[in-house]
Amino acid sequence: MSKEYPKEPRVGVGCVVFSDGKLLLVRRKYPPGRGKWSVPGGHVELGEDLLEAARRELEEETGVRARPAGVINVDTVVVRDPLGRIRFHYILVDVLLEDPRGEPSPSGDVSEAGYFPLEEALRMELTRSSRGLVEKLAKGLLPIQSPLPQEKYEFVEE
């Protein structure tokens, strides 16, 4: 399915990762959101588990490994072209990931990556969906840590 001018919405996953109270953000290389900051993330692949997609996208875009803890937010993004046609349509599912390992290093679809305090993130040029997410996080409306342990995604040292 084409990313642009789709026949149906695409499912995307956003990766919400905190380290020392700071949120991991990346600068996007490609539309939608080119040049803007957002949480790491991308498309859920056919047959892929949502939490596994979050783990994979986080590692692909930043080199950071973390344990998926669960879904904390769902959002819809629709971008229209100048003629009013739907250029992009995403259902974005934000997943909290915990216990991050490794320093962020941009790759793939991102040009920069780093951890930022929420107050600083709100002053950055964020994508619309990430701005809404960061605002909810800053107001304490979304959890920043899981209340339940996750045994499915244990780290194995290689």
Half-sphere exposure of residue 25: CA atoms within 13 angstroms, side-chain side: 27
Phi and psi torsions of 144, nearest 5°: -110, 5
Q: How many CB atoms lie within 10 A of CB 143?
A: 14
| Catalytic (active site) residue 112 | yes
Distance CA 93, CA 115 (A): 21
Instruction: Note the helical H segments in the chain.
Output: 50-62, 118-121, 128-138
Of 4, 45, 103, 112, the active-site residue reads 112
Q: What is the set of active-site residues?
A: 112
